[in-house]
Amino acid sequence: MMTNPGNQITQGQFSFLPPLTDVQITAQIKYALKSGWSLAVEYTDDPHPRNTYWEMFGNPMFDLKDPAGILMEINNCRKTFPNHYIRVMAFSSVRGVESPTMSYIVNRPKTEPGFRLVREEAEGRSIRYTVHSYATEKPEGERY
Amino acid sequence: MNELSKDIILPDDTPVDLDAEFRNSNIQEVLAKLDRELIGLLPVKTRIRETAALLLVDRVRKKLNLSALSPTLHMSFTGNPGTGKTTVALRMAEILHRLGYVREGHLISVTRDDLVGQYIGHTAPKTKEIIKKAMGGVLFIDEAYYLYKPENERDYGAESIEILLQVMENNRDDLVVILAGYKDRMDKFFHSNPGMRSRIAHHIDFPDYSADELLVIAKLMLAEQNYRFSPEAEKAFSEYIPLRMKMEHFANARSIRNALDRARMRQANRLFAGAKKSLTKIDLMTIEAEEIYVSRVFQDGQVDLNGDELAE
């Protein structure tokens, strides 16, 4: 897509910015912990924008006080899946919210081939549009 | 605080204000509280003061760009039951927090059950979860020698120790590990885990309390719960302590607490059954000598086994 140089997928917070440094990630985790949210690390290699359910890396982390433990887990995940998308997710257990309140990408594949626009002829002369990720042409685990 | 840039080399005679740094850290307040609330334990207090001094000097040195490796602060507390190891560990977390050595200053107190799993592959995530929780604070492992069971070679404790060692080395800035346990068993534990021994810089031994110290502790415990001894009861209790110390299952301050709990129970019983109809506030607060003398320790020289003495 010409409007998105580098074909970076833009999901969650901060995804239009340059990649976050570890210091910035730590600051964001600190904010989440201060707000009483519990964090989890998730990964995937399917970049489709509607792919919201990613795999969780290890267990969700409750009752932590300090960002160091979560950063350690992020680095573990980066070591295991250096070429996957990895995001940090903060979950709020406040009654009535009970859902993720923060989510941002902390690791991307080195090259992101991007998406192709698919046109489908439908009834009459109407056309349906969808996107297709070039990366998903290969099977899971071999995409990047 | 204005950070000095790394390039600036300060002259050797730059003045250093240790006193101001000492006042700013509020560490005096914590140390005074330690003196006030912990009776005896002189070697422990000295050691804590020394550690506090080292950390303070380190902090001033860092301001002057005199870089040094951050000191290893993992500790081992050894001593008999009831000598105040857990209490001191709690204080330690507070002191380290005031000196800026740990970021949060909370204490996670665990035993073998919290670290070691029950089947293959259970131990590592369990240990790691605890370590992550303790980061930014102090991890206190009570009765640490249970982690290692040499008689069972398939025991998962060794795996837990391995992870701990790795974290103690690599995440020195993130958490402080304190191991605690009885002296002889801890010595055996360190003997079979030399890696653990070398990673722990401070071995602090907790001495037993003397009878006088135990009496002061007893009064402190009662004051905390808004009770007090009558003069006769205090005399009775000072007779009780040496008798109790000679008996088996004596656990220093913990035995004293149990004895006081039983005395409170008897006091309540006396007030309830007593003939005196008009009670005052003072009556509710005072422990009388008869509550102490009823103890089996005086009767036939035996510990009151129906009490909670054996439950510990």
Position B311 pLDDT exceeds 50: no
CA distances from B153 to B149, B156, B186, B191, B193 (A): 8, 8, 19, 17, 14
Which of A33, A57, A65 should we substitute to test contact with B (largest number of B Cβ atoms within 10 Å)? A65
**DSSP designation for B288:** P
Report the residue of chain B nearest A62, measured CA to CA. B133
Q: What is the pLDDT of residues A8-26, one digit of tens each?
A: 888 889 988 889 999 999 9
Q: What is the mean pLDDT of residues B79-103?
A: 86
Task: Please choose, from the candidates B70, B109, B62, the residue with its C-alpha nearest in 3D space to the C-alpha of residue B89.
Answer: B109
A59: helix, coil or strand?
strand
Residues 6+ positions from B118 with CB-CB distance below 8 Å? B156
Q: How confident is the model at residue A120 (pLDDT cuts 50, 70, 90)?
A: very high
Nearest to A69 among B106, B125, B132 (CB): B132
Could you give the ipTM of this predicted complex? 0.80
Q: What is the pTM of this model?
A: 0.80
B153 φ, ψ (degrees, to nearest 5): -75, -10
Q: Say if residues B283 and B271 touch (Cβ distance below 8 Å).
A: yes
Dihedral in degrees, nearest 10, Cα atoms A27, A33, A37, A38: 90
Q: What is the mean pLDDT of residues A96-104?
A: 94
Task: Please choose, from the candidates A25, A33, A22, the residue with its C-alpha nearest in 3D space to the C-alpha of residue A90.
Answer: A33
Q: What is the mean pLDDT of residues B75-83?
A: 90
Distance of CA B73 to the CA centre of its chain: 15
Q: How far apart are CA A35 and CA A67, in angstroms?
A: 13
* Residue given tokens 């050797």 in the structure block: B12
pLDDT value at position B296? 77
Q: How confident is the model at residue A80 (pLDDT cuts 50, 70, 90)?
A: very high
pLDDT value at position B249? 82
Q: Is B125 in contact with A58 (Cβ distance < 8 A)?
A: yes
Residues of B within 8 A of A66 (CB-CB) are 103-104, 135-137, 174
Q: What is the pLDDT of residues B241-293, one digit of tens each?
A: 988 888 888 888 889 999 999 999 998 888 888 766 677 888 888 888 888 88
Q: Which is it for the CA torsion B207, B212, B216, B222, positive or negative?
A: positive
pLDDT value at position A4? 66
Q: Is A65 in contact with B104 (Cβ distance < 8 A)?
A: yes
**DSSP designation for A13:** B
CA distances from B79 to A41, B41, B82, B187 (A): 42, 11, 8, 11
Q: Say if residues A109 and A117 touch (Cβ distance below 8 Å).
A: no
Report the residue of chain B nearest A61, measured CA to CA. B129
Position B239 pLDDT exceeds 50: yes
Q: What is the mean pLDDT of residues B91-105?
A: 85
Q: What is the pLDDT of residues B122-163, one digit of tens each?
A: 999 999 999 999 999 999 999 999 998 888 878 899 899 999
Q: Is B132 in contact with A65 (Cβ distance < 8 A)?
A: no
